[in-house]
Structure 1
């Protein structure tokens, strides 16, 4: 028997070399289980894209072997792709109560909830999926009901941390299940897939409760309205806002669709404790004294259409921020959102509000483990191999250095790319090629119909603008019957650039005359001639390269 005859393959379809769209396939023999199914939000140059999801081509090619999808927790980067994935891969989905509650709400929006097989788990049960036995252990994160996974395979035990921190004083009192984690280490762990998001922080991540202490101090001193923006899914943070509001006799209004949805699901399932008559509708707040109101809003990432962003620009229908209000931005910018958040903070200061954010007060702590917590997990589990996930190249490289400090050889830390097949056994480990993988863009109702070529055209249009050339020709002789007329959008303002546009028109006429002299009547050749002549002229005159779109009509 060869050293890889009895091996397990770990195949990241997302969540490595990036933060977002987490998805991992675990394959052994005839069985595949999938861990998480998340989205990633578009990057700045991905114009018009709503969401980015993993490419599941490999799972579709092996659909009869996929035994189910295991969810670690209810954040968008772990569950957000489910409505799109389950349309083509309708397998059972396993998760804890709050996680499935958020999934169900998401599926209802897509009209899919009755077609999907959602199966509730609790951290104390064991699950048999083909040749895999799955166990769960409670971890702490910035959303309740998160779990890690211990998956026994024919090749050995695989432990997946989920997103985690080791909070000794969690808001809900449920500490991580250290005894289970230590027991897995005693049994022997073949591979540990570990959250690396906060690997750059040397110390342990502070407890979520310290944010509640900061809230208490701010609420005690605030003299007018308090507006708190945070991630909608951060249920423990929302609970602490509600606790402070109740303590200081304030009513709470919830603003923003995602925030309303999470508050509804979490309170209905018992994860949010809200005393009666604490919540009020947003249209009631103007009838209450300003010092008796707290507004809980989305927009901590500066999203253009989110509630806080619109409040900051006085474009929100129901809420206007006034001088003397206190605004708390209880989050840290996701990489890529820094400018949006800075712009929102700047606009809030313009209103005269007292703005409190992470740099000036402890109003946010991470939900991800720092180096010391990761070292503790590595020492408890003592895995043979480690795969850092939920991080970019930098996170992965630093993780390898940290793992070496606790005695894990550098060659046993796999720095994976999306689509890598990491093949492991107790005899050895290797990257054994790649599977079909990548990213799929969601644009409106379209799934995957926008690719790199379309995005390149959108970027070109956004940066350089467009010049449309409309001309009518005789289909037999090629003679110009009308035009050419030039229409510009995003290139120059026509009224102020009349001379340039007239010269451009003359160049277009010259190109058409050359075609007529050569008796060229083929559309594609005429269009190419117009693009070449006009593009060269505009480049020389303006040092710009707008999209040139000839439209030829034949009579």
Structure 2
């Protein structure tokens, strides 16, 4: 088995001179929250920190009321001044979404990334009234930040300007791929830099951190060119209005849709704030080519024949407040879905969103629209390398050690198996979930302990104030309901003098449904007092146990129970 058995559950030992320490604060064992902390202890002076990516969690979190889920950097909070830079591999939210919250704690951390990535970051931080320190890089660039030598490589992904980064420090080399794939005919002509990776492999790579998201998928990813042909075919054949839903950052997909709309003599409106913002940035940077007169305001859609219009919308993941979800629920203020509409879902599913997307598809179908999605036609390809491409990368880089990142447990295991297929031994494959500490010294990687990491929840303006216990209470309230019980007791007489008054919410609409428990509660309380119990909290515990058992036995439910005993 790969080396995923931690040597101990205690804190790691002090960092030795010349050692590079790697700790994932998010992104391993889940999809999203990508953030990795690198710590290097030079021969002289204190250790320094480098961060790669700082993203939020994607997919459903089963966390009611939570706006954003962040990585947990609390272990390093007292050392934020020691961070030399944050390196961003690309501009997706699961890699940049947590930056505003990190920069609230230290605003002057240098942020290093590509042109598009930094443009998206700047727009995001402007909403938080943060002026970041930005340093733009591109592929083939080399930068020296303190002890950190950074070398950047072009990689394909489902957003332009994605980068891999090689970290040279203390005579050791770590290659972090970020999210990548190997499209041999990318729309922008920007190939994943396999020659550069191979050259780096010739020089020696001590540790490879590589994207695991598609490690269970065999073979190679089809080209974006193939997708463009299918998308254009769907748009050309549609008789009525077309609504295309895709990621708000997928510039290449939007370009394909725009090109097909021009060929079909359709006007295009962008729907959703993030779509409008991101495509505006991409257009300003020259990454999105928009012919004159094609884009119109969404309010003008009603003035044109349906056969001459096309909408590009957010909501491909079934987000409850997204434009597409509101269309499916017939709640959008400007767009009403009709039977002649064709809905094209040009995206893949993020794990955890399957039910939400299914509900949106059913809602659109209920309104009579024709829905085309990835299961029916090649209208999207993933931005992540499948098994064949991961094996290709391993053979090109030939790392001494492999650390699968970016994926759930099944993806990490599958990636480890790919590493073994190339001849790597288990001792050199590090499955290190969030909080696991990997020390790299002299080309030898070792799991040396753990640091505490958890989930940091953003609830409105509160960051980190919501605990797992509070979320559990919210889930119980939402799924099982709430019952409060009020009882007044004369402790001297040993009698219940008022109640029990029982109030239920989200549990049963029958006002008499809880009557059978009232007499039992009087008996339970009076017996407890007769047995010498004079503590109101002890009586409340007895009431909670009695009501809980009765409700479970009668209704097979476990609502939140809040008993209150008043002494008179």
Partner of 2:463: 447
Q: How far apart are 1:79 and its partner, in Å? A: 0.5
Q: How far apart are 1:232 and its partner, in Å? A: 0.8
Of 401, 404, 412, which aligns to 2:420?
404
Partner of 1:156: 172
- Separation of aligned partners in 2, 1:356 and 1:543: 41
C-alpha spacing 1:530/1:410, structure 2 compared with 1 (3 Å): closer
For the pair 1:51 / 2:64, whether they are aligned, the reply is: no
Partner of 1:539: 552
- Separation of aligned partners in 1, 2:267 and 2:190: 28
Q: How far apart are 1:466 and its partner, in Å? A: 1.2
- Separation of aligned partners in 1, 2:529 and 2:172: 75
Partner of 2:51: 34
Scaled by the length of structure 1, what TM-score is found? 0.93
How far does the alpha carbon of each residue in 1:434-461 deviate from its partner, in whole angstroms, 9 at most, with x for none?
Answer: 1232221222222122222122222222
- Separation of aligned partners in 2, 1:124 and 1:318: 46
Query: SS of 1:10's equivalent?
Result: strand
Q: How far apart are 1:76 and its partner, in Å? A: 0.7
- Separation of aligned partners in 1, 2:559 and 2:224: 51
C-alpha spacing 1:75/1:477, structure 2 compared with 1 (3 Å): farther
Partner of 2:77: 60
Q: How far apart are 1:413 and its partner, in Å? A: 1.4
- Separation of aligned partners in 2, 1:348 and 1:538: 39
How far does the alpha carbon of each residue in 1:317-362 deviate from its partner, in whole angstroms, 9 at most, with x for none?
Answer: 1111111211101112111111221222122222221111111110
Of 8, 12, 16, which aligns to 2:28?
16
Between stretches 44-53 and 75-84, larger displacement belongs to: 44-53
* Structure 1 contact 4–428 (Cα < 8 Å) conserved: no
C-alpha spacing 1:222/1:486, structure 2 compared with 1 (3 Å): same
Query: SS of 2:541's equivalent?
Result: helix
* Structure 2 contact 60–353 (Cα < 8 Å) conserved: no
Partner of 2:128: 110
Q: How far apart are 1:32 and its partner, in Å? A: 1.4
Partner of 1:96: 114
How far does the alpha carbon of each residue in 1:42-99 deviate from its partner, in whole angstroms, 9 at most, with x for none?
Answer: 6453233222211102321332321111000000110011111222243111111111
Where does 1:354-503 land on structure 2 (aligned, <5 Å)?
354-426=370-442, 428-471=444-487, 482-495=498-511, 498=512, 500-503=513-516
Q: How far apart are 1:262 and its partner, in Å? A: 1.2
**Structure 2 unaligned regions, length at least 5:** 1-14, 42-46
Number of residues paired by the alignment?
548
- Separation of aligned partners in 2, 1:155 and 1:58: 27
Of 519, 533, 539, which aligns to 1:506?
519
Partner of 1:81: 98
C-alpha spacing 1:554/1:446, structure 2 compared with 1 (3 Å): farther
Q: How far apart are 1:519 and its partner, in Å? A: 7.7
* Structure 2 contact 59–350 (Cα < 8 Å) conserved: no
**Structure 1 unaligned regions, length at least 5:** none
Q: How far apart are 1:207 and its partner, in Å? A: 1.4
* Structure 1 contact 314–320 (Cα < 8 Å) conserved: yes
Q: How far apart are 1:117 and its partner, in Å? A: 1.8
Q: How far apart are 1:554 and its partner, in Å? A: 6.7
Q: How far apart are 1:124 and its partner, in Å? A: 3.5
Q: How far apart are 1:482 and its partner, in Å? A: 4.7
- Separation of aligned partners in 2, 1:274 and 1:509: 75
Between stretches 174-183 and 3-12, larger displacement belongs to: 3-12
Taking only aligned residues, the RMSD between alpha carbons, in angstroms, comes to 2.3
- Separation of aligned partners in 2, 1:174 and 1:55: 34
* Structure 1 contact 227–295 (Cα < 8 Å) conserved: yes
Partner of 1:529: 542
How far does the alpha carbon of each residue in 1:203-245 deviate from its partner, in whole angstroms, 9 at most, with x for none?
Answer: 1111112211111111211111000001111111111111111
Query: SS of 2:448's equivalent?
Result: strand
Between stretches 33-42 and 224-233, larger displacement belongs to: 33-42
* Structure 1 contact 478–519 (Cα < 8 Å) conserved: no
Partner of 1:165: 181
How far does the alpha carbon of each residue in 1:393-437 deviate from its partner, in whole angstroms, 9 at most, with x for none?
Answer: 221222122122223223211111111111123352210111232
Partner of 2:11: none
Partner of 2:251: 235
Partner of 1:273: 289
- Separation of aligned partners in 1, 2:521 and 2:462: 37
* Structure 2 contact 536–566 (Cα < 8 Å) conserved: no
Q: How far apart are 1:15 and its partner, in Å? A: 1.4
Between stretches 321-330 and 3-12, larger displacement belongs to: 3-12
- Separation of aligned partners in 2, 1:399 and 1:392: 11
C-alpha spacing 1:310/1:427, structure 2 compared with 1 (3 Å): closer
- Separation of aligned partners in 2, 1:492 and 1:300: 36
- Separation of aligned partners in 1, 2:532 and 2:420: 73
Partner of 2:155: 139
Of 302, 306, 331, which aligns to 2:322?
306
Query: SS of 1:423's equivalent?
Result: strand
Q: How far apart are 1:254 and its partner, in Å? A: 1.2
Query: SS of 2:344's equivalent?
Result: strand
C-alpha spacing 1:60/1:508, structure 2 compared with 1 (3 Å): same
- Separation of aligned partners in 2, 1:536 and 1:321: 49
* Structure 1 contact 507–534 (Cα < 8 Å) conserved: no
C-alpha spacing 1:541/1:407, structure 2 compared with 1 (3 Å): closer
